[in-house]
Structure 1
Amino acid sequence: MTYVDGFVFAVLTARRDDFRTQAQALADVFQEYGALSVCECWGVDVPDGEITSFPMAVKKAQNETVVFSWIVWPDKATRDKGNADVFEDPRMEQHFSALPLDGKRMIFGGFEPIVAVGATGFPPG
C-alpha cells in the first residue's frame, strides 16, 4: 500500500528560484532512498480563511507564499527506512540549511491513500 508524506509551509516569495533549486536537489536524494515521486506546488490561489486556512496554518507573512508538497513512497516501511537514511545523508544538512523557509511553521503528516483516481502519481495498491 502506498504511503504519502504531506507538507504545507511558507517560503519567501522573492526566493522562489532558490527554493526550487534546493527542492529539486532534495527530491533527488529522497528518490535515491526509495521515494517514488516528490511534488512541490507553489501557491497561486491560496486564500486567507476566516477560521482556518493554509496561510493561517503556517503563519504566512506578507512576503511569503504557501507551498503544498508531498512525497509518495511504495509503503510505510520503505518511507520509515528512507527517511532514516535521508537524514543520515551528509548532503542533507547543506540542502536543509539553504531552504528559504522556517521549518518550525511547517505542518506535515503521513497518510495512506484510500481513494486515488486518474493521473494521481500513485501506483495502485
Structure 2
Amino acid sequence: MTYVQGFMIPVTEANKAAYKKMAEETAPIFIDHGALRIVENWDNQVPKGAATDMYLAVRAEKDERVVFSWIEWESENACNDAHEKIMADKRMQNPPEEMPFDGMRMVYAGFNVLGESGDGGSLGYVQGYVAPVAKEQRQAFSNMCAKMREIAIDSGALHAVDSLSYDIEDGKVTDFKRAVDAEADEGVAFGFVEWASKEAHETGSAKMREDKRMTSLGGDLPVDGKRMIFGGFEVMLDTGHH
C-alpha cells in the first residue's frame, strides 16, 4: 500500500445509522475495483481548538459530528484507474434519495504513504491527525513519523500510517489545505494510529508519553503543532486489514 485517500465528513447524530448503511453498501464496490481496505470512524474524542480543529475543517454545524475515514490503494495509479469504473458500476446508479451528509463540506484528497508500521488486527479505535508540512521539512517530518510509529507499536498500537501530499485541489467550501491553514510552501499530512479498543489507546498513549525515546524528538519539531488537527474515533466499518 503506497497511496491513501483521506476523508473528513460532517454527519449529524440523527444520520449516523444512515451513513453507516451507505458506507456498508458502497464499500464492496470499491473493493471490487481494487481498493485494499476501507475504514470509517465516528467522532468520539475530537477536541475543539481556538484556531482550527476537525469541526472547523468541515464547517460543522451544532448537531454535526466528524467522520474520519480512509481508503487504502496499492498505488495512486490503481486509485485513478478505479475511479471511472466505480462511477460506471451499476451498483452506484441508485444513490440514497437523501444523502446523509453535505457533500459540499466533505474534505478529501489523495496522499502518498511515507511509511507504515504494525501488522494490524481487530480494530476498535483510531487516532487520526492532519497537519501542515513545509516542503523543506518533508524528510525531517518523515523521520519523526517513523520514530513515532515505532513507539506507538511498542506501546500496543496495531498499525500506524503517515502520508503526505503537496498536490491538493482547492475545494469550493473547504479542503485539506484550509483545514490546517496551510501556507503556499506547505503540503498536508494525513495519518492514523489503530488500536484494539479505546482502553488500549488510553493505556498505550500513557506508555508513549513515558517512553524515553519521546525526548529524543526534541522541541523543534518539523511541523506546526498549533495548526495540527486531531481526534479519537470509534470504528464503524473496517473491511479488513490488507
Report the equivalent of 1:72: 72
Task: Decide whether the 8 Å contact of 1:39 with 1:71 is kept in 2.
Answer: yes
Report the equivalent of 1:4: 4
Change (3 A) 1:71 1:115: same
Helix, strand or coil: the match of 1:115?
strand
1:97 offset after TM fit, Å? 5.3
Task: Decide whether the 8 Å contact of 1:26 with 1:95 is kept in 2.
Answer: no
Change (3 A) 1:90 1:9: same
1:86 aligns with 2:93: no
Helix, strand or coil: the match of 2:67?
strand
1:96 offset after TM fit, Å? 6.0
Task: Decide whether the 8 Å contact of 1:25 with 1:95 is kept in 2.
Answer: no
Structure 2: distance between partners of 1:113 and 1:27: 21
Helix, strand or coil: the match of 2:86?
helix
1:103 offset after TM fit, Å? 0.7
Change (3 A) 1:60 1:83: same
1:26 offset after TM fit, Å? 1.2
More strand by share: 2
Report the equivalent of 2:19: 19
1:94 offset after TM fit, Å? 2.5
Report the equivalent of 2:31: 31
Helix, strand or coil: the match of 1:41?
strand
Structure 1: distance between partners of 2:4 and 2:50: 28
The gaps in structure 1 that reach 5 residues or longer are none
What residue identity is the alignment partner of 2:55? P
**1:37-116 pair list within 5 angstroms:** 37-95=37-95, 98-116=98-116
Runs of 4+ in 1 over 4 A off after TM superposition: 121-124
What residue identity is the alignment partner of 1:33? H
The number of equivalent residue pairs is 124
Report the equivalent of 2:134: none
Q: Which has the larger radius of gyration?
A: 2
Structure 1: distance between partners of 2:69 and 2:94: 20
Higher relative contact order (CA 8 A, sep 6+): 1
Structure 2: distance between partners of 1:112 and 1:45: 27
Deviations 1:49-78 (A, max 9, x none): 111111001011111110000000111111
1:98 offset after TM fit, Å? 4.5
The two structures have a TM-score, normalised by structure 2, of 0.48
Change (3 A) 1:10 1:32: same
1:92 offset after TM fit, Å? 1.9
The gaps in structure 2 that reach 5 residues or longer are 121-158, 162-240
1:121 offset after TM fit, Å? 8.1
Structure 2: distance between partners of 1:112 and 1:87: 23
Structure 1: distance between partners of 2:69 and 2:45: 15
